[in-house]
Amino acid sequence: MTRTDPTPTDEAGLLSSVRDGLYIGGHWRPGSEGAGLDVTDPATGETLKTVASASVADGTAALDAACEAFPAWAATPSRERAELLRRAFDLLMERKEAFALLMTLEMGKPLAEARGEVVYGGEFLRWFSETAAHVQGRYGANPEGTGRMIVTQHPVGPCYLITPWNFPLAMATRKIAPALAAGCTVVIKPAALTPLTTIFFAQLLEDAGLPPGVVNVVTTTASGPVSDAIISDPRLRKLSFTGSTPVGQQLLAQASTGVLRTSMELGGNAPFVVFEDADLDKAVDGAMLAKFRNIGQACTAANRFIVHSSVVEEFIRRVTARVDALGVGRGTEEGVTIGPLIDAKAVAKTDELVRDALDRGATLQTGGKPVEGPGTFYAATVLSEVPANSALLREEIFGPVVAIVPFDDEDEAVALANGTEYGLVSYVFTESLARGQRMIERLQTGMMGLNVGVVSNAAAPFGGWKFSGLGREGGDEGIHEYLQTKYTLTPDPFGR
C-alpha cells in the first residue's frame, strides 16, 4: 500500500496537493482535448483551481478501464474488498481536516458542517466494509422435491455514478462504497461545481491500495455528451444519480434503452409538521437543523413548515429569533453558520421564490434578500402565512428560507404534507405516540423524522417515493442495488 505525505491544511498547500487530471485506469492524465474546468470559491468568486475537463473519448476510456478491471475485482474475495474499504475509512479519518477544508472552499458550507460531512461520508466506507462479507444466497429443495434450488448474488457490472455538488464527499462514498463492496467497478462523474473533493478521495483510494481501473473519475464541463456516450454503451450495467427530478427523468429514459439497473435519488419538498402538543423547544431545534444544514441546499431540507394554528405565532417568534442570530460569511471564518449559496443562479432562484410568495401575500419576518458584497450569499429568511398558490410551496427551495403555513386539524396537516409530487422525507413533531404512529402510516415519504431534524444515517435506507426517486442508498438495502440474483435448479441428489 502506497502512502502519501500528510496532507496540508492551509488553503494554498491543500489546493496544490489536489491532482488536476482525470483518473482513468489507475493513471492521472489530462483531458484528450486539453480543455479545463475552473473551480470557484462561492464565498469570494475567485478561482480555486483548474482541473481537466473530459471529452466524450475520455469518458469512453474511463468505461474501458472499468470494464477491463471488472472481472478481477468481481473475483476478489469479499474480505479483501472489505479491508480496502476499511483502510479508506481509516485514511479519511486521518485526513478529516483536509477534506473538511476542501469542501468548505469549493462548496461554501461552514467548516463545522464540513467536518460533520467527513464523519457521515466516512460511515458509508465503514458500513459497507462490514457488509461486503455478508452477502448471502440460499439453498434448499423445491416444493415438489424434484430438485434443489440455489440462489446466488453477483455484482451487476460496471457502474456509472453521477454525484451532485451539495455533499461532494458523502454522495461519492454513498455510491462508491456499496459498488466496491458488491464487486462492481465504477466511473464517477462529480458535479462540475465541486469536483475537487472527489478527485482528492480518488487519491485517498489509491493510497488505500485500490487496483487500477476499479474507480475512474471524469470531471467535465460537457456533462451531457459524456454521460450520453457512457449510458448508451452496452457494456454499462448500472446507473446511479443524485440530483434534480427533471434530469433524473431524462436519465431514466436514456437508461431504459439499455435496460440498466438504476438508483435515482431525486428532488424533495419536505414537510415539517408541528402539532399543538409538540415540545416547541425540540421543534425549533429540529427546524434549524432540518432547514439550515448545508445552507438549506439539501434534498432533505425542510421546505414547508406546517404548524398548528394554536402554536404558530410562538413558533414564528422563536424561529425568527434563532434565524436573526445566525452568522453569515465565508465558511472558514469563526462563528459562521450560514455560508454562500453555490452560485449566482442559486441566489437568483431563491430570491425569485421569495418575491413570488411576498407578491401573493406572505408576511416577511426577517431576511428576504441577497447579501451585498462579494460571493453568492442570501440572507436567512422567515416567511409566514405563505399562500397555497406560492411557488415556494411547490418547488424545492434549495436555500435558507423558512416558509410557514398554519393548519387546524390532523387531516388538514396530512393533506398539506402529502400535497406534492415529491416524497423524499418528512418531519413530524408531536408528543403523542399514537399520532406519531399514524403519521408513519399516513405520510407519503420514503423517510420520516419523528421529533428529530436530521434522519440520514449510513446504516439506514435513504430514498424516496413518487417523484423523489427509485432505489435505496445505505443500510442493508444499499449493497443490493449493485447485485443481481441468479437462481439455479439442480436435480434431486437422491435421484427421486
**CB of 462 closer than 8 Å to CB of 479:** no
**Per-position b or e across 56-70, b if 16+ CB within 10 A of its CB:** bebbbbbbbbbbebb
Residue 299 annotated in active site: yes
Torsion of CA 88, 94, 98, 103, to 10 degrees: 50
Return the C-alpha cell found at 366.
Answer: 426577517
- Catalytic position from the list 106, 113, 123, 265: 265
- Catalytic position from the list 67, 159, 184, 299: 299
Of 384, 371, 287, which Cα lies nearest the Cα of 329?
371
Residue 123 annotated in active site: no
Handedness of CA 103, 108, 111, 112 (dihedral sign): negative
- CA dist., res. 397 & res. 402, Å (int): 9
Give the count of beta carbons closer than 10 Å to the beta carbon of residue 108. 33
Q: Outline where 325-430 has alpha helix (H).
A: 344-359, 391-394, 410-418
Of 137, 205, 138, 197, which Cα lies nearest the Cα of 177?
205
**CB of 134 closer than 8 Å to CB of 215:** no
Of 397, 410, 407, which Cα lies nearest the Cα of 367?
397
Catalytically active residues are 265, 299
